[in-house]
Structure 1
Amino acid sequence: MDYIHLNEMEFYGYHGALKEENVLGQRFRANVSLAVDLAEAGATDDLSKTVNYAEVFEVCRSVVEGEPRKLIESVAEEISRLVLQKFAGQVRGVRVVLIKPDPPIRGHYASVSVEITRGQFS
């Protein structure tokens, strides 16, 4: 299995369980990995034989900057669902890590995140 990784994509969204999060918004980061077969793309240097990661970025942006959700789990799930749907036949599995760098929690920590894996990933 081969993989395409989109790392540290950053977006601004309005997701969260607290009303203030839905009004003020906050930064979100996403890492998305795609399980794909890259042999033909590597042999032919043909973009049509791989997944265009600019299109994957746009899927992620549309979800994170789109409709507010209470849970980042729901945001990650929607990203994975849309990626598998849009790139059916190419992407065998997807892993989404959605990071909330500044959640409204007292204390010292780098961030909170969820990680989900859908489809065949190994």
Structure 2
Amino acid sequence: MGIIKVENIKVYAYHGCLKEETKIGSDYRVDLEVKANLKNSAKSDELSDTVDYVFLNRIIKEEMCVPSKLLETVAKRILNRIFTEEKMVQKATVWVSKINPPIGGDVERVTIKMTERRKK
């Protein structure tokens, strides 16, 4: 088993419960960690034998473009797509962070973390 991380993906998106958030948008950071068997790819040196991080990045960017009230909803959509579209992934953890959230204080970011395992 091995780990692939795609870190600090910066996205501008329109998530939130406040009307202003869905109109103005804000900055987000997404981090992803997936676990998969990387032994074959380590031997073969072939992209087809591993989890393509370009593919993972594309899923994140596409799902971040779909407005949602809650970051939890966005995270769950990202995980669902990963498990549906990439059979090699056995476990995935995604962190979705809203940068400078409008919560009436000096807060750098709020982050939700969600982990899923492939159902056998």
TM over 0.5: yes
Give structure 1 stretches of 5+ with no counterpart: none
Which residue in 1 is equivalent to 2:42?
A: 42
> Where in structure 2 are the equivalents of 1:12-27 lying within 5 Å?
12-27=12-27
| 2:101 aligned residue (100, 103, 108) | 103
Shift of 1:109: 2.4
Aligned counterparts of 2:83 and 2:101: Cα–Cα separation in 1:
28
Percentage of pairs with the same residue = 30
Q: Deviations over 1:99-120 (max 9, x none)?
A: 1112101222221000000015
Q: TM-score, normalised by structure 1?
A: 0.93
Shift of 1:60: 0.3
Shift of 1:22: 0.4
Give structure 2 stretches of 5+ with no counterpart: none
Aligned counterparts of 1:103 and 1:111: Cα–Cα separation in 2:
6
Aligned counterparts of 1:52 and 1:115: Cα–Cα separation in 2:
22
Q: Deviations over 1:46-101 (max 9, x none)?
A: 11100111011000000002x2100001001100110111102x001110000111
Aligned counterparts of 1:64 and 1:107: Cα–Cα separation in 2:
25
> Where in structure 2 are the equivalents of 1:82-101 lying within 5 Å?
82-88=81-87, 90-101=88-99
Aligned counterparts of 1:40 and 1:107: Cα–Cα separation in 2:
49
Question: Aligned-pair RMSD on alpha carbons?
Answer: 0.9
Which residue in 2 is equivalent to 1:79?
A: 78
Aligned counterparts of 2:67 and 2:83: Cα–Cα separation in 1:
21
Matched position secondary structure for 1:100: strand
Matched position secondary structure for 1:4: strand
Matched position secondary structure for 2:89: coil
Which residue in 2 is equivalent to 1:30?
A: 30
